[in-house]
Amino acid sequence: MELQSLKNRFGIIGNSPVLNHALQTAIQVAPTDLTVLINGESGVGKESFSHIIHQLSKRKHNPFIAVNCGAIPEGTIDSELFGHEKGSFTGAHEARKGYFEAVNSGTIFLDEVSELPIGTQARLLRVLESQEYIRVGSSKVLKTDVRVIAATNINLLNKISAGRFREDLYYRLNTVPILVPALRDRKEDIPTLFRRFCIDFAEKYHADPIQLDDNAKQLLVHYTFPGNIRELKNIAEQVSVLSKNKTVTADEFRQFIPVNRQNNLPVPIANSDNQSFMSEREILYKMLFEMKGDLNELKKIVYNAVPGSESSEYQTQEGYSAVQSHEMAKPILIDSNNNVREIQVEESLSLQDKEKEMIIKALKKHRNRRKDAARDLGISDRTLYRKIKEYNIVD
């Protein structure tokens, strides 16, 4: 099946390489009975991939059911998946089929599979290995022919290390992995998705679709969208309903971006023809060069102040007086004729050392208020927290 016809059929919008790769993998694995594990953040559309795989498989005319494992209480999930016998527990007034029995010969999609209790994981593993299961309260072994597609928004290997997910089950589920990219990893698709949502909402509310000016589009594309497509759709609906003008400016668009997320937006460089944006590393280099210039100015001030300025002075073997300025890290030497010579001290050129030094200075300047320090450094709160931990900086 061609990729574009697949997108048209299932309403997939976008043409980024990472999205196309995920779709191509789904197309290839669909005709088989292999178990698929769909990885991706919340809101990226993992369930859409499960529908694609089912509809392109030989089971497409048989039942399909999506189960949110995180929404079912731990005490009842075994009954939901595998069924139970009458009287097997309080409230079991009659026997009940589970999902694996109800969708026999079809497909079951287990969303948030990481939330399954350990006991249920063992039961699921048996289904995957031998197509057998037992109802709750029964001793009779039942057979099922169900294809399992699972999805998770967390790293299962971390849960395995923590002892909260079975390693053998992970490898059974992960026969064919599909990674659905986050929206921030397919930025070229954001304007197209936003425009599609705005057109849909305009039709829904019988109004003309809104448009973004160039600066507003820059904000849209460079926003991180932690809620992915779901958040983008919400913002598109808010702008469509609440914007005062049909052409939305950057200032107006900022009102629809959550306040606690706006600091993650990059800062535009003034007088830039292409409205490019500085990365965190570029900002860091810029600040380092500015610091170097400040140090040179400070050095000149100290030189001009000698010998009248306050300093720590001591005699050297060469007949010089060594002066350590209170405001400088480098000492200077003064001979009997008041000639100045700087002691050459090897300076660390490590970018990491400079970065750590700047973070410490920013924290001191803002009295350990991390949010203010992050804003001053031109980085996000999350990046600052990570750097503090990485450099073992004590507030």
Tell me how long the chain is: 395
Residues 6+ apart with CB under 8 A from 220: 190, 191, 194, 212, 253
- CATH of 184-262, picked from 1.25.60.10, 3.40.50.150, 1.10.8.60, 3.80.10.10, is 1.10.8.60
Reduce the DSSP state of residue 65 to 3 states and report it.
strand
What pLDDT score does 8 carry? 92
**All residues at 6 or more sequence positions from 203 whose CB lies less than 8 Å from its CB, including other chains:** none
Q: CB of 266 within 8 A of CB of 222? A: yes
The residues, any chain, with a CB within 8 Å of residue 357's CB and separated by 6 or more, are none
Q: Is the peptide bond before 307 cis (omega within 30 degrees of 0)?
A: yes
Report the alpha-carbon distance of residue 295 to residue 298 in Å, rounded: 5
CATH 1.10.10 residue ranges in the chain?
A: 351-390
Cα separation of 245 and 261, whole Å? Answer: 24
Q: 3-class SS at 136? A: strand
The alpha carbon of residue 219 and the mean position of all alpha carbons in its chain are separated, in whole angstroms, by 18
Asked if residues 235 and 256 have their Cβ atoms less than 8 Å apart, the reply is yes
| Residue 88: predicted pLDDT | 83
Strand, helix or coil for residue 110: strand
pLDDT at position 365 is 86
Beta carbons within 10 angstroms of residue 386's beta carbon:
12
How far is Cα 245 from Cα 207, in angstroms, rounded to an integer?
A: 12
Q: At what angle do helices 280-305 and 370-377 cross, to 10 degrees?
A: 90
Residue 183 dihedral angles phi and psi, to the nearest 5°? -65, -35
What is the C-alpha separation between 261 and 242, in angstroms, rounded? 20
Strands (DSSP E) found in the chain: 36-39, 64-68, 107-111, 132-134, 141-143, 147-152, 176-179, 211-212, 247-248, 311-315, 321-325, 331-334, 340-342
Domain 351-390 listed as CATH 1.10.287: no
Q: What is the mean pLDDT of each run of 10 residues along the chain (395 residues)?
A: 89 94 96 96 95 96 95 91 88 89 96 95 96 93 96 95 95 96 95 95 91 94 93 94 91 84 47 43 60 66 55 42 42 54 54 81 85 82 80 78
C-alpha to C-alpha distance for 142 and 85, rounded to whole angstroms: 13
For 272-308, b/e burial (b = at least 16 CB within 10 A) is eeeeeebeeeebbeebeeeeeeeeeeebeebeeebee
Cα separation, 139 vs 115, in Å, equals 26
- Range(s) for CATH 3.40.50.300 in the chain? 3-181
How confident is the model at residue 388, as a pLDDT?
Answer: 85
Q: What is the pLDDT of residue 332?
A: 52
Topology of domain 3-181, CATH:
Rossmann fold (3.40.50)
C-alpha separations of 23 from 4, 8, 44, 49, 52 in Å: 10, 13, 13, 8, 9
